[in-house]
């Protein structure tokens, strides 16, 4: 079976070859060493290439060897310590899982004394190694998805850690100023201790449905870090100012300071509320999200929008407050009711219509698989939907422009939620909202995706119609949509599949006609 490529980088003496070989064996994969390829091509040892032809020539051979190995190899590939100096090589590694092996100076010196013959370490090895470690650390970190400190560690132990972490993919979200990782995989919740910062207290916000996991989160905290579990009312009942105020009271009673941490463990309602509580407490403390619903994982917990519902409407009170990290643990979906899984798929399908039609192909090919949390296609759908969101959020953190496309279907959806007093699942409302938007696309002379939209949503058991006779109330609710500017309504529509536009010229007649076509 093909496992794909895993690349190992690190300074001289970090154990790239030893750990790389052991990892390949553990994964049942082939091992390849880019330095060995260079030696084979040049027909002489690396030390001789340096002496005879110079470092520049060696680097050129290295770039080519790495390029070829990355293109060809299926398994574990170890690179020479200086390979990351080349910008081309770093670019090449952007889409490949890369493991960075760290080592401290003293141990690197010891290991290099045993393994003599490295051309750059012949003279003054300690000072040279110190310089190499310092200079190259940012470059290793730039390419790495996983970092492991090898100092004083046993090879078998290291290999097991890397193999476990490789099951996890990291997507970086946020803009260049404040990037944060979204870890996607199985068992990612165990990684929480990496994101505690200086917290001495952690407030774990959850609902009854996620109480066991919240306890598990509490038990992951190291000694000296205290957990306070706060159980919220379920679903939208927990997304209120009153509930937020109770949380703030509890934080005050516990003496939460600016270095402490809020963790949201639950569906989108919990992570929206937890983010909002964190955004306002002391004008902003860190929050880590552990989304437990599919919708939370692909959307609510990612992107930094937080908020509550009020009588005025859905999510009208809130703040942009990006999390410190998001731990998407695919195992958490095992207990999620099928109807909630389907609701989450509505936002996944939205990502398909606005940006990644492969999502639609995957769902259409086998809707039952998409509804089975254990099926590998769910992991792929989660990754693809998060990738769509990450790309949009990176270029427009606070919805100054492009980010509005994530709101496809939401104008009508939020109106339904308000009319239904937040008793509808958000994903169900988004499904109907996308059918409404599809009618508007067709009515405004854009693209006709009505049948495809209805078919894919119906195949997941999602609603595609709304009751008749509610137009005046729906319009009233849509008039206070956040995307509107003054009295001008703005809608996200599609010029074509995966070609979203934000428009402000949809007429009152077109809006009403789309509703008439939608009613069941
Ligand atoms: N901030 C954003 O960018 C953003 C994006 C999309 C949606 N949202 C918000 O997210 C909310 C919807 O999220 P949701 O669909 O997750 O709803 P939800 O949080 O209400 O969860 C749905 C139901 O599933 C239960 N549940 C959650 N995880 C479970 C698990 N692992 N096992 C068993 N039951 C579980 C919950 O208790 C709840 O009853 C809405 O309020 C919506 O506005 C926010
Ligand atoms: O992240 C965004 O931006 C979105 O619009 C994602 C939506 O899917 C999500 O439902 C969000 O909560 C809606 O945001 P809002 O600003 O319209 O409340």
> What pLDDT is attached to residue 122?
65
Annotated binding site: 13-18, 35, 59, 81, 118, 136, 153, 234-239, 268-272, 292-293, 305, 314, 347, 410, 426
> What pLDDT is attached to residue 20?
96
Q: Which atom of ligand 1 is nearest to the CA of 309?
A: 41
Phi/psi at 211 (nearest 5 deg)? -65, -40
Kindly give the distance from the C-alpha atom of residue 267 to the centroid of ligand 1, in angstroms, as a whole number: 3
Nearest ligand to the C-alpha atom of residue 297 = 1
Per residue in 238-269, pLDDT (tens digit) is 999 999 999 999 999 999 999 999 999 999 99
pLDDT band, very low/low/confident/very high, at 316 (cuts 50, 70, 90): very high
Query: By CB neighbour count within 10 A (0-12 exposed, 13-18 middle, 19+ buried), where does 225 fall?
Result: middle
Residue 2 has pLDDT above 50, yes or no: no
Per residue in 107-143, pLDDT (tens digit) is 988 887 765 666 666 667 788 889 989 999 999 999 9
Residue 3 has pLDDT above 70, yes or no: no
Arithmetic mean of pLDDT, 18-33: 91
**CB-ligand 2 contact for 470 (6 Å cutoff):** no
ipTM: 0.98
What are the beta bridge partners of residue 6? 76
**DSSP summary character for residue 79:** P
> What pLDDT is attached to residue 372?
96
Arithmetic mean of pLDDT, 414-442: 97
> What pLDDT is attached to residue 117?
62
Q: Which has more pLDDT, 118 or 379? A: 379
Indicate which residue's Cα is closest to atom 3 of ligand 1: 300
**Is position 44 annotated as part of the catalytic site?**
no
**Is position 399 annotated as part of the catalytic site?**
yes
Kindly give the distance from the C-alpha atom of residue 427 to the centroid of ligand 1, in angstroms, as a whole number: 9
d(CA 382, CA 378): 6
Phi/psi at 409 (nearest 5 deg)? 85, -10
**CB-ligand 1 contact for 295 (6 Å cutoff):** yes
Where is average pLDDT lowest: 2-6, 72-76, 385-389? 2-6
Please tell me whether the overall predicted TM-score, pTM, comes out greater than 0.80 for this model.
no
Where is average pLDDT lowest: 96-110, 411-425, 469-483? 96-110
> What pLDDT is attached to residue 1?
35
């Amino acid at each position: 079976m093909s496992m794909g490529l895993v690349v190992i980088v690190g300074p001289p003496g970090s154990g790239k070859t030893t750990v790389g070989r052991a990892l390949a064996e553990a994964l049942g994969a082939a091992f390849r060493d880019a330095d060995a390829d260079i030696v084979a091509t040049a027909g002489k040892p690396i030390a001789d290439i340096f002496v005879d032809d110079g470092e520049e020539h060696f680097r050129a051979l290295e770039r080519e060897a790495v390029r070829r190995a990355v293109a060809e190899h299926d398994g574990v590939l170890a690179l020479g310590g200086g390979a990351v100096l080349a910008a081309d090589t770093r670019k090449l590694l952007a889409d490949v899982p890369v493991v960075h092996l760290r080592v401290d100076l003293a141990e690197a010196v010891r290991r290099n004394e045993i393994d003599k013959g490295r051309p750059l370490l012949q003279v003054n090895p300690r000072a040279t190694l110190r310089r190499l470690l310092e200079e190259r650390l940012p470059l290793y970190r730039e390419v790495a998805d996983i970092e492991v400190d090898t100092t004083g560690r046993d090879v078998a132990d290291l290999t097991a850690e890397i193999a476990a972490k490789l099951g996890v993919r990291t997507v970086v979200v946020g803009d260049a100023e404040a990037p944060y990782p979204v870890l996607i995989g199985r068992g990612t919740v165990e990684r929480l201790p990496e994101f505690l910062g200086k917290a001495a207290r952690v407030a774990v916000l959850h609902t009854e449905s996620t109480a066991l996991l919240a306890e598990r989160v509490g038990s992951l905290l190291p000694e000296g870090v205290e957990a306070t579990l706060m159980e919220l009312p379920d679903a939208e009942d927990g997304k209120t100012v009153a509930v937020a105020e109770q949380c703030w009271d509890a934080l005050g009673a516990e003496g939460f300071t600016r270095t402490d941490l809020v963790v949201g463990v639950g569906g989108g309602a919990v992570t929206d509320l937890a983010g909002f509580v964190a955004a306002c407490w002391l004008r902003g403390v860190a929050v880590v999200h552990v989304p437990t619903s599919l919708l939370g994982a692909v959307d609510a917990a990612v992107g930094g929008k937080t908020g509550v519902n009020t009588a005025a409407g859905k999510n009208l009170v809130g703040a942009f407050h990006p999390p410190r990290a998001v731990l998407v643990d695919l195992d958490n979906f095992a207990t999620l009711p099928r109807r909630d899984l389907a609701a989450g798929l509505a936002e996944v399908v939205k990502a398909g219509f606005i940006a990644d039609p492969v999502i639609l192909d995957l769902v259409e090919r086998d809707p039952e698989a998409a509804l089975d949390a254990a099926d590998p296609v769910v992991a792929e759908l989660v990754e693809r939907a998060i990738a769509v969101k990450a790309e949009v959020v990176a270029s427009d953190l606070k919805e100054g422009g492009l980010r509005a496309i994530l709101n496809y279907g939401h104008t009508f959806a939020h109106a339904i939620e308000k009319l239904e007093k937040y008793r509808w699942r958000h994903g169900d409302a988004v499904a109907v909202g996308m059918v409404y938007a599809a009618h508007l696309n067709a009515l405004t002379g854009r693209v006709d995706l009505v049948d495809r939209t209805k078919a894919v949503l119906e195949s997941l058991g999602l609603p595609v119609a709304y009751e008749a006779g509610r137009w005046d109330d729906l319009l009233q609710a849509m008039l206070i949509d956040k995307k509107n500017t003054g009295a001008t309504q703005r809608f996200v529509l599609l010029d074509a599949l995966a070609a979203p536009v934000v428009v402000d010229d949809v007429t009152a007649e077109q809006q009403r006609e789309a509703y008439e076509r939608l009613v069941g």
